Amino acid sequence: MPPAPPSPRSHPDVPSLAPADAARPSTLPLLGLAAVVLGALLVAALQVLPPTDTISPIRRTISEYALTTSKWVFDAGVLLVALGSAVVFLGLVRRGPLLPRSAACLFGGLWTLSLLVIVVFPKHNWSVGPSIGGNIHRVASIVAFVCLPLAVVAAARTVLAHTAVRRRIAQALGVTALLWFVPIVIGIVRMMGGGEAWWRFVPLGLVERLMAVNALLAVGFLVIAAVLPRRLDMRQVTAQA
């Protein structure tokens, strides 16, 4: 009696992935990314809806929306981004090989925590004057915009270790998100040398918005690039079953 053909799961050239086990970890980062996108769209909508449509996207920062009656929309959007980001990194950890005690998770956690701080402490309302809460908000904003790109760069080293092209694209998006700080640094140096105030030299609202879009694109690419190979493996298992 001839031996039974080997099971696809035991075939040396086919990854041993149970479809149910593989789909669950892949779905979690995508759900997190969907929440991030929804939150970002909520905040972006404030620029075209009254009463916040009169806020200059060139000179006024994103947090300016929180000083209006639409604060609840801004808060909801930022909280969705924070929740989605946490789910993204949790999903990447569950998929492996990203570890909970890694630089990527540390930076991702700081990004998420900073977003929560931004919601709790609004920016300075200059019609009233500076405040301690406004200073906390400013620090949290800097931490957030630094940590998310660093989280993507660090995560890509591990999560996309199997594909050099996708890893380099994800890391390049993370690095370019950090490069948006360069105009701010130049403005500060000019001011220290006797030039105009850096916030007048730099179109801060525009720079911050481009920085945010750049960083969120980096997260989106990281998630899609990480999930895609697993799904391809699942198709291979199904085809040879």
Residue 14 belongs to a domain: no
Residue 146 to residues 9, 123, 139, Cα–Cα distance (Å)? 43, 18, 11
Q: What is the pLDDT of residue 63?
A: 95
Q: Mean pLDDT throughout 223-232?
A: 75
Which pTM does this prediction carry?
0.83
Contact call for residues 27 and 234 (beta carbons, < 8 A)? no
Give residue-wise pLDDT tens across range 82-140.
Answer: 999 999 999 999 988 899 999 999 999 999 999 999 999 999 988 888 899 999 999 99
| Domain contains 11 | no
Total domains in the fold of the chain: 1
Length of the chain: 241
Mean pLDDT of 142-157: 97
185 confidence band (pLDDT: 50, 70, 90): very high
Domain annotation covers residue 7 = no
Burial of 164 (0-12, 13-18, 19+ CB in 10 A): exposed
Q: What pLDDT is attached to residue 229? A: 58
Q: Which long-range contacts (CB under 8 A, 24 or more apart) does 197-205 make?
A: 203/58, 203/59, 204/59, 204/60, 204/61, 205/56, 205/57, 205/58, 205/59, 205/60, 205/61, 205/62, 205/64
Tokens standing for 36? 């991030």
| Helix, strand, coil fractions of the chain, as percent rounded to 5 | 75, 0, 25
* Beta-ladder partners of 125: 129
Q: Is residue 175 part of a domain?
A: yes
Q: Is residue 198, in this structure, part of any structural domain at all?
A: yes
> Rounded to the nearest 10 degrees, how much is the dihedral formed by the CA atoms of 120, 44, 85, 111?
-50
Q: What percent of the chain has pLDDT over 70?
A: 84
As a whole number of angstroms, the distance between CA 187 and CA 157 comes to 33
Residue 60 lies in a domain: yes
Query: What are the b/e assignments for 67-78, b being 16+ CB within 10 Å?
Result: beebeebbbebb
Q: 8 in a domain, yes or no?
A: no
Domain membership flag for residue 188: yes
Q: What is the pLDDT of residue 231?
A: 46
- The pLDDT assigned to 8 comes to 41
The burial of 175, by beta-carbon neighbours within 10 Å (0-12 exposed, 13-18 middle, 19 or more buried), is given as: middle
Domain that holds residue 142: 19-235
At residue 125, the 3 state secondary structure works out as strand
